[in-house]
Chains A and B, each alone.
Chain A
Amino acid sequence: MTPPTIDDVRRRIAAILDIPEQRAGPEADLGDLVADSFRLVEMAIQLQDDYEVLFGQQDVARLRTVGDLATLVHSRLDPPPP
């Protein structure tokens, strides 16, 4: 199976937040898209569950945009076998 791309992760973020993909562009501000802090927790847990990756508070402290989050998730994916 082809490993997910950063754009795939971004589309998944849009789906979790139940917003059109266009609104979840790489530069979209997470603070504008996530209505409350519980929603952010829910999204973080779901992304980690979906992609079997881990991140915590330290990792997301500097995240600002959807692109930042998608890149973080993508960077934690296992590298494809050679």
Chain B
Amino acid sequence: MSLSDDELFVLSYYRSSEINGSLFFGRLARALRPGPVQHDLTRHFADEAQHAWYWTRCIDALGARPLKLAQAYQDRYLEAAGLPLNLMEVLAITLVFERRVINQYAKHLALPGLHPEIATTIDRIMEDERWHVQWVRDALAGLEGRFGKDHVDATLRRYREADREVYADTLAEYEQRLGFLVGPGPDTEATPETP
């Protein structure tokens, strides 16, 4: 079974987003002083780089080459929500984004007749993504004393609104290509989270 053009686009989109995530967190890990957040951020960016490799290998195994895409999902986030400019804002946008990633991958995994190579890749990535949500949620809770719980909650609300907007815009823009992913399945919104 070979990839359709639409499937190749979506898998390449995942790959680009994982690369962007890795580069972003890698740069942050370099900027932060040693400590628990820097420690977990380093594992996080290593995971994202590994995920990009998984997608590259998956696409290759299915007889195709990844598409070079100009924009990744994160670029749209930054446009919609503004740049996160402190650690709390970075973690808040990351938590909302990681929830979206998990939901998106779960939705893809639920597709009937999914190629085993793709299913295996998503399964492997999902294991890491669950840890990503957990460590970011814990780190964010640890910052409540410094930033105030109300401020953290308000920041999460702001990013969730941006997330819904970006997801809807992305689906609308790529309706033709993403159409096979739309429909019944796991929820289509990033799950509200309580840090």
**How many A residues touch B, CB cutoff 8 Å?**
18
A77 within 8 A of B: no
A60 touches B27 (CB 8 A): no
Given the contacts A38-B24, A60-B85, A45 and B90 also touching, CB distance less than 8 Å:
yes
CA distance A56 to B82 in the complex (A): 11
B89 touches A54 (CB 8 A): no
Within 8 A of B (CB), among A23-46: 37-46
Given the contacts A37-B78, A54-B147, A42 and B31 also touching, CB distance less than 8 Å:
yes
User: Is chain B's binding surface mostly helix, strand, loop or mixed?
Assistant: helix
**How many B residues touch A, CB cutoff 8 Å?**
20
CA distance A39 to B85 in the complex (A): 11
A75 within 8 A of B: no
A38: chain B residues within 8 A (beta carbon): 23-24, 27
Contact of B86 among A37, A39, A42, A48 (CB under 8 A): A48
Cβ of B84 to closest chain A Cβ, rounded Å:
6
A44: chain B residues within 8 A (beta carbon): 83, 85-86
Query: Chain A: residues with CB nearer than 8 A to chain B?
Result: 37-46, 48-49, 54-57, 59-60
